[in-house]
Structure 1
Amino acid sequence: MNYIEFFEVEVPNWMRQSNQVMANVGFATDDYWRWVVHSMGALCKKYGDDELVRGQCSLIFEWLEGKAKEVE
């Protein structure tokens, strides 16, 4: 497992994609949250469901949930 690649490449790329999807469909939409779940699942699978990758995705998801609650 190349953790440096994951944290220096994959996570920033995912965040950029997240911002793009958010700009296209909106943050508080089912389409955005479906994309989040699907893309995080794909990222975890890409790295063999590595525990640290799953943990990072969970951390980002929880952070996004917190941001969603601030918007409500």
Structure 2
Amino acid sequence: MDWSAFFKDMELWMQASNEVLKKYPIDSDKYWEWMVHSTGKFGNKYNNHPLVIQFLMVLISFQEDVYKQLSQSKQMG
């Protein structure tokens, strides 16, 4: 497993995520469709190595937390 390549790709994925978020808000179906598709493709690239899957789950969990915070602030505001 080439971990250097993996972490470089993860950095590129995070940059891509930021670009997608400029077009589609985190509470949009378009963003989550991109998220699911891109993380699936990312996992496949690294043969769904268990540690790769764990890292991807952390990325998804983080985005879910951001989404939940946004939803809560919208409900309060």
- Shorter-chain TM band: over 0.9
**Is the counterpart of residue 4 in structure 1 residue 4 in structure 2?**
yes
The alignment's TM-score, normalised by the length of structure 2, stands at: 0.88
Q: Distance in 2 between matches of 1:58 and 1:43?
A: 12
**SS of the counterpart of 1:58?**
helix
Q: Percent same amino acid at aligned positions? A: 31
**Larger Rg: 1 or 2?**
2
Task: Give the count of matched residue pairs.
Answer: 71
TM-score for the superposition, normalised by structure 1: 0.94
Give how far 1:50 is off: 0.6
Whole-angstrom CA distance in 2 between matches of 1:24 and 1:62: 21
Q: Report the counterpart of residue 56 of structure 1 in structure 2.
A: 55
Q: Quote the Cα distance in structure 2 between the aligned partners of 1:48 and 1:22.
A: 27
Counterpart-to-counterpart distance in 2, 1:27 and 1:62 = 13
Q: Which residue of 1 aligns with 2:66?
A: 67
Deviating 4+ runs (over 2 angstroms): none
Task: For 1:12, give the aligned amino acid.
Answer: E
Query: Unpaired runs of 5+ in structure 2?
Result: 72-77
